[in-house]
Amino acid sequence: MPLPRQVFIAVVGAGGVGKCFLSQLQGLATKLSQSPGTPYYLSLIWLSTSKKAVYHADYRSLSNWESEIQNATKPTLPLSELCEYLVKAPGKVVLVDNTSNQDVADSYPNFLKKGISIVTPNKKAFSGSYELWTNIFGAASNGTGIGGYVFHESSVGAGLPVISTLKDLVETGDEVQKIEGVFSGTMSFLFNSFQPTSGGGGKFSAEVTNAKEKGYTEPDARDDLNGLDVARKLTILARLAGLKVESPTSFPVQSLIPKELESCSSGDEFLQRLPEFDDQMDKLKTDAEKEGKVIRFAGSVDVPNNKVKVGLEKFDKTHPIAALKGSDNIIAFYTKRYGDNPLIIQGAGAGGEVTAMGVTADLVKVLRLLH
Amino acid sequence: MPLPRQVFIAVVGAGGVGKCFLSQLQGLATKLSQSPGTPYYLSLIWLSTSKKAVYHADYRSLSNWESEIQNATKPTLPLSELCEYLVKAPGKVVLVDNTSNQDVADSYPNFLKKGISIVTPNKKAFSGSYELWTNIFGAASNGTGIGGYVFHESSVGAGLPVISTLKDLVETGDEVQKIEGVFSGTMSFLFNSFQPTSGGGGKFSAEVTNAKEKGYTEPDARDDLNGLDVARKLTILARLAGLKVESPTSFPVQSLIPKELESCSSGDEFLQRLPEFDDQMDKLKTDAEKEGKVIRFAGSVDVPNNKVKVGLEKFDKTHPIAALKGSDNIIAFYTKRYGDNPLIIQGAGAGGEVTAMGVTADLVKVLRLLH
């Protein structure tokens, strides 16, 4: 009889994605523990928010994470102490980082070196300095069994199979020529509403307010409109395609925040003054319309020419990027093998459940590799 | 210093896909042997066509597969003897089946039970009898380290990440409601030409002949038009989604071979007589046009209602299935998490290079799991 297999899970972050992940984890743990072959036991031994943490010194599983974290009184530990706690766990450990915190991201190499695996949607780790990128993958296992594994499917396009597909293309020797798409649910919704292929659409400022009211933007819409979120995703894809991109600000990124509004002291003030610039946006729309095109906020990586860019572009109305619906993302891979018609992946690229799904799927992959 | 890691590869089939795979394997082997961490050594110890085989009794690598198989004089071994040869290899073995042969598929459980892993685009193994399906996955490893691993990404949509995505959705607890798409490059090309969304298109029989001349059909076009190839793919997806589909003929499959032509003794005779039925096809086209729609040869799996079907359907011209180009496949997953807008995967779903790519990517996954 093979021995029961146990893996210890530590979760940092219990916000929108974190909560969805914890619920998916529960389902997965139940399924694995009832596996007809050798059952698998997942033990949640750490859960923390930015302030509080719940864990037991003897590595007992948390019995009911929802009430435990709600009633928690212990402050969370510094990351170095969390690492020490996890290293001493009586078995293999996976750290699930459901935050978008730079400090947690900066600590990945330490966790990995100690054999702790990481799964995460945290873009900061893979789109920050190129040095952090090389440190993370230098510390991670390449199958030698020394470092931990690291997976981050949800850092681009949430649960859509974007990163795994790009890795497969590269690993099997295809030549990626161009990656192009719409990488932000907010920008997708905004421009699909501002200039639908069927015509119409409202003033740009009104569409921003509408998107914010519908919950499609960050609490401060400027955090979407500055293009940095898209630039981070393009940085990750460009690096996976083999380009040495220094940082998400080392290539042209068009911000939709007009220069004159950069000094606004609040998101509300910004939204109030945004209508002053509606004429400019309308002109872009009309110009595109004259060419039979629509404008979209897109990003692209041109691999042979080592060029990455993010910003407004015009697309034929029949182009798959123009035809996008709702807040969907679309990612097109142009490669030598796929020729003129790219490999396209499309669907919701944001939201708690689909982001958590990418994290949970990554966890399953790590579990397979750990045993 | 960790010891060098060696994995033995046996390849059955050296046709279109087989040749592309062997070339990708060479690239992969070179890359892995130069890995800066611990290098990986892949040894090709068996290559066979339907008639001949090359291998060495002492498990030496084939030095130049192209000339060796060309000059081979030894007849291939029966599958049971191949299995014996591989079981005695001094290390882990992966069998790569690049055939579409039913006998090879039937032997998978034997190879798997003996710890030999399998990667393959061979649809027959996963779309034959439900008994074979359960035998294959019953014999395969579920991580217990007893049986071999089995991966078959390229059995649906060639290198497109269709099967891995469906598995991720199911394993992470999403509820798949519907899978719908165009699953045949031939059917895609045929109907995109017969009724383009922009209007026009030729007679159906002329489009079939055109597709055949351009190499988009099987040598005998009836092998595409009977719908069985699509039915096999739907069988695989339905089973992965949890439905117990008995065989690819246990649900409605519309054949585009008119009843009156079923008795044709050759593909040529069939193509000669096909124009007699152009009026019927034109009527379908005109009827669709009147509704502002186009006809496409599609397949779908309705999971909650346990229904699978394959055949002609009408789609709005703006539907992603209608807007497909060239010979692309499209697969849309409607799930609880993805809501109204499905997760869509699109691109070339046939061809040697992209099919081999799915096989090579699967091989990389098995290599990771073996070490």
> CB-side exposure of A125: number of CA atoms within 13 Å?
30
**Looking at residue B151, what DSSP letter applies?**
E
> For residue B358, what are the CA distances in angstroms to A103, B33, B163, B164, B299?
37, 21, 10, 10, 22
At residue A352, the 3 state secondary structure works out as helix
Residue A295, C-beta contacts closer than 8 angstroms, at least 6 positions apart: A191, A194, A195, A284, A285, A288, A312, A313, A314, A315
Tens digit of each residue's pLDDT (9 = 90 or more) over A89-138: 999 999 999 999 999 999 999 999 999 999 999 999 999 999 999 999 99
Q: Is the Cβ pair A346, B343 closer than 8 Å? A: yes
What value does the CA radius of gyration of chain B take, rounded to a whole number of Å?
22
pLDDT in tens, A152-169: 999 999 999 999 999 999
* Predicted local confidence at residue B39, as pLDDT: 80
- CA A190/CA A181 separation, integer angstroms: 15
Q: Which of A143, A161, A173 sits opposite B38 (nearest CB)?
A: A143
Inter-chain CB proximity B159 and A168 less than 8 Å: yes
> Residue A315 corresponds to which tokens in the numbers above?
């697309």
Residue pLDDT, tens place only, B205-249 = 999 999 999 888 988 999 999 999 999 999 999 999 999 999 999
Above 60 in pLDDT, residue B2?
A: no
Q: Is the pLDDT of residue B198 over 70?
A: yes
Closest-CA residue to B282 (of B297, B299, B295): B295
* pLDDT-derived band at A2, boundaries 50, 70, 90: very low
Whether the per-residue pLDDT at A142 is higher than 80: the answer is: no
The number of beta carbons lying within 10 Å of the beta carbon of residue B64 is 10
pLDDT at position B144: 60
**Average pLDDT of every residue of chain B:** 94
Is a pLDDT exceeding 90 seen at residue B371? no
Give Rg (Cα) of chain A.
22
Whether B177 contacts B144, CB under 8 Å: no
Q: How far is B260 from chain A (nearest CA, A)?
A: 37
Q: Give yes or no for residue A360 having a pLDDT over 90.
A: yes
What's the mean pLDDT when you consider all of chain A? 94
Among A92, A142, A168, most B C-beta atoms within 10 A, so best to mutate, is: A168
Phi, psi of B178 (to 5 degrees): -145, 140
Question: Confidence band (pLDDT; 50, 70, 90) for A371?
Answer: confident
Q: Characterize the bridge pairing of strands B150-151 and B176-182.
A: unpaired
N-term to C-term CA, chain B: 16
Average pLDDT over residues B172-176: 97
Q: What is the complex's ipTM, to 2 decimals?
A: 0.95
Q: What percent of chain B has pLDDT over 90?
A: 89
Condensed to tens digits (0 to 9), the pLDDT of residues B319-353 reads 999 989 999 999 999 999 998 899 999 999 999 99
Cβ contacts from A onto B, under 8 A: 149
- Split at pLDDT 50, 70, 90, the class of B97 is very high
How many CB atoms within 10 Å of residue B266?
10
At A318 the pLDDT is 85
Is residue B163 within 8 Å of B345, Cβ to Cβ?
no
Inter-chain CB proximity B2 and A325 less than 8 Å: no
Q: Is the pLDDT of residue B4 over 70?
A: no
A301-305, B10-14, B293-297, B324-328: the lowest-pLDDT one: B324-328
Q: Mark which residues 140-159 of A lie under 8 Å from B by CB.
A: 142-145, 159
Quick one: closest CA in B to A25, which residue? B172
Judge contact between B183 and B227, C-beta under 8 A.
Answer: no
Residue B171 annotated as lining a ligand binding site: no
Residue of B nearest to A333 (CA): B347
Check if the beta carbon of residue A86 is closer than 8 Å to that of residue A111.
yes
pLDDT of residue A304: 98
State mean pLDDT over A259-287. 96
The pair phi, psi for residue B282, each rounded to 5°, is -60, -35
Q: Is B13 annotated as a binding residue?
A: yes
Q: Find out whether B159 and B299 touch, Cβ atoms under 8 Å.
A: no
Cβ under 8 Å to B: A residues 3-42: 5, 24, 27-28, 31, 35, 37-38, 40
B341 has a chain A CB within 8 A of its CB: yes
DSSP structure string for B314-342: EEETTSTTTT--TTEEEEEEEETTTTTS-
Q: Is B82 on the interface with A (CB under 8 A)?
A: no
pLDDT in tens, B24-70: 999 999 999 988 777 889 999 999 999 999 999 999 999 899 999 99
Interchain proximity B144–A2, CB inside 8 Å: yes
Share of chain A above pLDDT 90, in %: 89
- Which residues from A are below 8 Å from B165, CB to CB? 161
3-state secondary structure of B96: strand
- Rounded CA gap, B154 and B60, in Å? 29
Helical segments of chain B, H only = 16-33, 65-70, 79-87, 102-106, 108-113, 124-127, 130-139, 163-171, 185-194, 204-213, 222-225, 228-240, 267-273, 278-290, 352-370
Q: Please, which pLDDT band fits residue A143 given cuts at 50, 70 and 90? A: low
Q: Determine how β-strand B328-335 pairs with β-strand B343-348.
A: antiparallel
Q: What is the pLDDT of residue B148?
A: 95
Give all strands (DSSP E) within A265-306, no chain letters. 293-302
Separation of alpha carbons A132 and A140, rounded Å: 12
Percent of chain A having pLDDT more than 70? 98
- What is the Cα–Cα distance from B110 to B82, expressed in whole angstroms? 11
As a residue count, chain A comes to 371
Does the active-site annotation cover B51?
A: no
